[in-house]
Amino acid sequence: MEYRELGRTGLAVSEIGFGGEWMDGTPEEARAVVERAHAAGINVLDVWMPDPTRRSNLGDALHDLGIRDQWVIQGHLGSTWRDGQYVRTRDLDQVKPAFEDLLARFHTDYMDLGMIHYVDKVEEFAQIMDGPFIEYARELHAAGSIRHIGLSTHNPQVAKLAASCPEIGMILFSVNPAFDMMPATENLDDLFGEAGEQSATDGMTPERAELYALCEETGTGITVMKGYMGGRLFDAKTSPFGVALTPVQCLHYALTRPAVASVMVGFTTPDHVDAAVAYETASAQERDYALVLAGAPRHAYVGQCTYCGHCAPCPRGIDIASVNKFFDLATMYDEVPDSLREHYRALGATAKDCVACRACEGRCPFGVKIADKMAKAAELFGC
């Protein structure tokens, strides 16, 4: 097993990590997975799930094996359990007992990483950093109950804000070749929905490229979630590229991004551990994802916008990629949803501002007739 330093935290973590989300079996099954992972050299575990059974099964396994102090645990602040359901909350009356429950079920008095849980809106990040929630995290850090403050997000805009914040030492972020080709979003479902299926690859979106560079610059470590795109990348029918990637190729893609230290892989059986750890002995040919993507039938969509941003800059200040994205989403409905219309209007410069100079069309790698599409968008949205 190879180990990497997790940003400026000083923690050395295995490049293959354990995402505990799917570990919902019996105590014996949980222990078998923990034993196999530990034997393979895995030493980092993400625990966002508030389900008491999963917490106890994993916590008991680490405790009974006497190896808790050999593991780096990402414990989340703001992930709670209410009436048998997961709830994401910023209410400290719920957050505090949930974190105390986490410590108790893991038979420990600290979490290595106290993760501000699932922040996907820029406004929410600002509220957290200016309010009582971050004060609570600071109190835990000062008391040694969390050794480092982290944050989990799927939105590269939020991730960039976190990477620019000195007291946030690392982020848990969704990384895979499909997500890297898609524009920033505040709704994770967008990445798995029809918009995701229509995404094509002309290189990494600017937001993500900027994020990785910023994390490298600031020493903000990244641990990875959604590395397999929920398993969709393993099947050509569900892969947005039209070809299947292997677990090893997905892991290699994530681990070759700047600032990435570890990929959290969901395990439910020891065999799942073995499949991920196979990465450590895989050949260069087995790891090669680039050749697969380059030959993918949907590697590029001629005539269809992939929101890659090559059309920019627009002399009228139009965010062409976003206009196209909202237009494409709107055409999926009989009537334009109010929320989508508001997102479109919030852009400022809209399709009606297009003067059909067509300068953008010469920069589009997919031959999109952008001016024509702007006219259709202006008609559809009415502005």
What pLDDT is recorded for position 222? 97
Instruction: Round to whole Å and give the CA distance between 182 and 237.
Output: 19
What pLDDT is recorded for position 304? 58
Where are the domains positioned within the chain? 3-294, 320-381
What pLDDT is recorded for position 138? 97
Phi, psi dihedral angles at 134 (to 5 degrees) = -70, -30
| Whether the model pTM is above 0.85 | no
Strand segments, DSSP code E, in the chain are: 3-5, 12-14, 16-19, 44-47, 72-77, 79-82, 85-88, 111-116, 146-153, 168-174, 221-225, 260-266
What pLDDT is recorded for position 311? 86
Instruction: Round to whole Å and give the CA distance between 13 and 111.
Output: 15
What pLDDT is recorded for position 299? 55
Reported CATH class of domain 3-294: alpha beta
> What type of residue sits at position 264?
M
pLDDT per residue, tens digit, the chain (383 aa), is 999 999 999 999 999 999 998 887 899 999 999 999 999 999 999 999 888 999 999 999 999 999 999 999 999 999 998 887 788 899 999 999 999 999 999 999 999 999 999 998 899 999 999 999 999 999 999 999 999 999 999 899 999 999 999 999 999 999 988 887 765 555 555 554 544 444 444 456 778 878 887 888 888 999 999 898 878 889 888 788 888 999 999 998 899 888 999 999 999 899 999 999 999 999 988 988 767 776 677 653 356 565 656 688 899 999 998 898 778 667 756 788 776 788 788 888 999 999 999 999 988 756 789 999 999 999 999 98
Instruction: Round to whole Å and give the CA distance between 264 and 45.
Output: 7
Mapping DSSP onto H, E and C, the string for 34-50 reads: HHHHHHHCCCEEEECCC
What pLDDT is recorded for position 335? 82
Residues constituting the chain: 383
What pLDDT is recorded for position 283? 94
